[in-house]
């Protein structure tokens, strides 16, 4: 699809400098721009490219002041980065706007399917499943019995949602996501074997949640594992049974949260963070990459390291850590001097 500068400016409530009739059909980085492409400039370090780019249209902040002539048509907006994200969202919806029920797939007669729903081939829809309006379910997706999927949600190919789990509105689950697999619950026996503890709870995912590819969210032993509204999970994350993650918390790839831990709202967990079970992590917490969290954290904390320390303590500790080789040499030298002193004074 093609859009003119005027159409884009109207959608973004921006102002045009240049040809309002110039059209674009794709997007590109400003440094790789070409005719027919839309780019944006938000970071000042990329400003030199705006004078050489071949993109037909470039989004810029209203405050941008060019130092020389710009060949592209400019659309001025309050925030070029946010505006570009809105356009990408619109572009993505247009590109992936599928409709109808493909065959072969299985839909149980008790399932309730809303309007304007897409269900891809080889999908399985179990008993009493409820799929609301405008949901897109891509091929080879499995929805177990009693699953609910809210309006405008998208489940990409290969998503598996076990029985009784609930997915809210405007959610995105990427390929390979598993929702509602059994929590890791085993009771040790006297003969050193383990007896499985049935996991009879579910997973509740509230509205506006996005879950990256191959992330797994275990069902609760009892009750619910809960992702509150606005949570964003990266790829390859493990969320264990009975975990609760608060509103608008984001978790980066390769992180894991152990069972029954509660994480507050507006938290940031960087890549490869590990959190042990049964902890209370407060609101507005930032946990640095590769940190291991072994104790409760108070609101507004910033921690780093394994075990995780307050960032001020970690910085002091790392200074000492870097000096350990020199300190070891000094200690060895002092030991030699002490031994020499002893031998000379015996």
Longest dimension (CA), the chain: 98
Whether residue 307 is preceded by a cis peptide bond, meaning omega within 30 degrees of 0, is yes
Helix boundaries (H) for 1-113: 5-12, 47-50, 80-95
Helix boundaries (H) for the chain: 5-12, 47-50, 80-95, 311-322, 324-344
CA-based radius of gyration for the chain = 27
Catalytic status, residue 241: yes
Would you state the structure tokens that stand for residue 237, as one six-digit string? 């994350």
What SS3 state is found at 44?
Answer: helix
Which residue in the list 25, 34, 54, 241 is annotated as catalytic? 241
d(CA 52, CA 46): 11
Torsion of CA 288, 267, 176, 240, to 10 degrees: 90
In DSSP terms, which residues pair with 61 in a beta bridge?
77
Task: Count the Cβ atoms, other than its own, within 10 Å of residue 205.
Answer: 30
For CA atoms 205, 142, 112, 92, give the dihedral sign.
positive
Would you state the structure tokens that stand for residue 149, as one six-digit string? 């999927």
Q: What is the DSSP letter of 46?
A: G
What SS3 state is found at 266?
Answer: coil
Which residues participate in catalysis according to the annotation?
241
């Amino acid at each position: 699809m093609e859009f003119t500068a005027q159409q884009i400016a109207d959608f973004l409530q921006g102002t045009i400098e240049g040809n309002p009739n110039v059209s674009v059909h794709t997007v590109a980085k400003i440094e790789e721009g070409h005719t027919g492409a839309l780019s944006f400039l938000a970071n000042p370090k990329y400003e030199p490219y705006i004078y050489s780019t071949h993109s037909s249209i470039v989004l810029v902040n209203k405050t941008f002041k060019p130092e020389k002539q710009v060949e592209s048509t400019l659309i001025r907006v309050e925030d070029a980065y946010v505006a570009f994200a809105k356009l990408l969202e619109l572009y993505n919806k247009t590109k992936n706007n599928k409709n109808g029920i493909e065959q072969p797939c299985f839909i149980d007669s008790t399932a309730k399917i809303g309007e304007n729903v897409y269900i891809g081939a080889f999908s399985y829809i179990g008993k009493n499943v409820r799929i609301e309006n405008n949901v897109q379910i891509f091929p080879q997706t499995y929805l177990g019995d009693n699953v609910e999927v809210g309006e405008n949600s998208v489940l990409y190919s290969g998503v598996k949602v076990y029985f009784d789990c609930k997915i809210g509105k405007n959610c995105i689950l990427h390929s390979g996501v598993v929702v509602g697999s059994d929590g890791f619950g085993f009771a040790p026996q006297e003969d050193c074997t383990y007896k499985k503890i049935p996991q009879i709870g579910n997973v509740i995912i509230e509205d506006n949640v996005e879950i990256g590819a191959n992330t797994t969210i275990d069902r609760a032993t009892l009750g619910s594992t809960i992702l509150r509204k606005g949570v964003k999970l990266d790829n390859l994350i493990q969320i264990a049974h009975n975990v609760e993650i608060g509103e608008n918390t984001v978790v980066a790839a390769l992180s894991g949260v152990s069972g029954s831990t509660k994480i507050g709202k507006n938290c940031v967990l960087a890549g490869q963070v590990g959190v042990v079970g049964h902890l209370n992590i407060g609101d507005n917490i930032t946990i640095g990459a590769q940190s291991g969290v072994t104790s409760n954290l108070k609101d507004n904390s910033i921690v780093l390291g394994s075990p995780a320390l307050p960032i001020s303590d970690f910085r002091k500790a790392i200074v000492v850590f870097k000096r350990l080789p020199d300190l070891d040499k000094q200690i060895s030298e002092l030991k030699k001097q002490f031994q020499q002193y002893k031998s000379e004074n015996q």
